[in-house]
Amino acid sequence: MQHLIRIEGTFGLDVTVQTVRSQLQAAPAGGRPTVRINSEGGSVQEAVAVYTELLAHPGGVDTEVSGWALSAATIVLQAGKRRSMGATGLLMVHAPWLSTAGNADQLRESAAVLDQVRATMRVAYRRTGKSDAQIDAWLDGADHWFTADDALRAGLVDEVLDYADASALATFRQAMAACRFPVPSHILERLDTMTTPNTQGADAVSAAVLAEAQRGADIRAAFKAYARDIPEAVALLESSLANPAVSLAKFKAELLEVNNKGVESIMGNYVARDPYTGAHDGMKTFMAAAVDTLCLRSGMRVEEPHPAAADLRRTSIVGMAERVLSMRGQSTARRSPSDLISAALATDDFPLLLSNLAGKMLRNGYESSPASFRGWTGERTVANFKEHSLLMLSEAPALLEKMEGAEYKHGHFSEGGTKFTVKTHGRMLSITREALINDDLSALTAMPRAFGQAAVRLEADQVYALLTSNPTLSDSVALFDAAHGNVSTAAAPSIASLGLARAAMRKQKGLQGTEYIDAQPRYIVAPVALETTFEQLLASLVDPSKSNATPNVEWVKNLQLACDPRLDATSASVWYLATAPEQIEGVLRAYIETESRPHLEEEQVFSRDLVNMKCRLDFATGIVDYRGLHRVG
């Protein structure tokens, strides 16, 4: 009996090299299995891996297109020693596509990658016997469609199978209506005019093909609904699909036995295996790909997009809602966009998809916004919103000589500091059903990103307000005061003024007033009015104030510059030096532990057909140690 291997669905999502390899391993030795293909394509990398796996199979394989082979699926078709195609089938060949974003250099690098993928595809299509020039014409920017007769003339298949009839064609037309690639009208017209080339026995053959396709679909549906997350269930699925003698009833009975091994069933709900991670969580895979797709469509750079993101690039938000409902076993036939969105919002998965997208855009806005304060300020987390003390410990007591046989002498620390309380800051946004139906990405992406940027502005406002307000500390002395030894007279940026400020910092002593702590400046904190001057000073190889080209000192070149326009609002000439927080913490930023920064929560409002999202930042600032800061001016 002919051994049948099925490739149905999207490469990288439904079809992987692992699933194909397991079916090949189950094939009888010495035979030549038939690989039956019905796929819209998908990840070209996965398709090339499957193509290579089929070529390496001992004795080879035959390939057959039972419905259609689009995009990357046509590569796999070329692995067959004998390539067949149903009379009602379709092929589509086009150039590789990559979802990316970035600057000019990054885009050119992505284009180079696509050129390499195109070269790999050209090797597969040489099986047609066509010239490289003809193959490159297929791999241009257009979609090239082939009916069965077209494909035979083009050398993409070796034979056309004559089991076309009205029922098979009608079933195929229904599938084309949901295709993510627009099928040209002239192709549809030619399919409409098709007649059965060989009527004798055609109905029986077509009915058998449709029955086998239905058997596979029923078995997969049962697997998604009832299978446990164990390898034995996956092995049973693959062996049952490969054996036409296994009925749906028999599969369910065997699956029940597998599920009951060593477990007690309590309201179980099992889903299909994720082809990327090996886990049985196809919904998780889909949502990760959908989030990356929408981020890319909004213009956000995604460093490593999910492999399945390319397959969703043309899918609208309504289409994604439809996919969620389908994966949960709900019928989507003849449902309006409004009904699909409302039904999807009633699930747990679609609101989570929207929340994941908003959260990713929120973090992007937060992490990509200018935050000049992060380097020179310290950071801590606290457990609650109570008042907290910032302790400024003295230097360690000096080590004393111990005489032979004598006891060690006790030392002690002195301490000072200030207090702070974390406060909650936040806003809400609403995503309406209308925005989802309209595919309005601004509601889903721009608004959360703007909230992330607002969180950074809040942090910067409070940090620089604390610095410029010169608050009174717990010792009843202002932060910057002669009594603290951390303020110099006004001076323009120069090697000399930097040197004086550094000397003052290095002369600082501990709270006990006996030991030098040698505070080393690492950052210059300055208004933007002085930014260019400091950049020239730090980048110069020589001292700009010397006419004899005196070399610039090394410690100055190692300083890091942090400029912010909030300082200009107080003074355009006052600037500061700060130590690295690891040595001495000057200004501290505090957050609530275990909370993301900023934090996002969502809530579905059933009565208003919308999803509310709340952005929250728990944040406070405080002064830890005045000796880590020095003001000039």
Distances, alpha carbon 64 to alpha carbons 413, 438, 570, in Å: 82, 40, 75
Q: Tokens standing for 429? A: 């946004």
The structure tokens 């309504």 sit at 318
What is the C-alpha separation between 460 and 525, in angstroms, rounded?
Answer: 13
Burial of 600 (0-12, 13-18, 19+ CB in 10 A): buried
Burial of 386 (0-12, 13-18, 19+ CB in 10 A): exposed
CB 556 within 8 A of CB 521: no
From 57, 66, 94, 206, the catalytic residue: 94
What is the C-alpha separation between 503 and 488, in angstroms, rounded?
Answer: 11
What single string gives the DSSP state of each residue in 269-316?
---PPPTTTSSS-HHHHHHHHHHHHHHHHTT---SS--TTGGGGTT--
Distances, alpha carbon 583 to alpha carbons 420, 519, 563, 565, in Å: 21, 8, 21, 27
Please state the three-class secondary structure of 94-123 as a single string: CCCCCCCCCCHHHHHHHHHHHHHHHHHHHH
Q: Tokens standing for 505? A: 């910092």
For 488, the enclosing helix (H) or strand (E) is strand 487-488
Say how far residue 124 (Cα) sits from the centre of its chain.
31
Q: Is 71 a catalytic residue?
A: yes
From 71, 84, 99, 372, the catalytic residue: 71
Distances, alpha carbon 280 to alpha carbons 21, 178, 287, 311, in Å: 18, 25, 14, 20
What single string gives the DSSP state of each residue in 30-50?
T---EEEEEEEEE-HHHHHHH
Q: Which residues are catalytic?
A: 71, 94
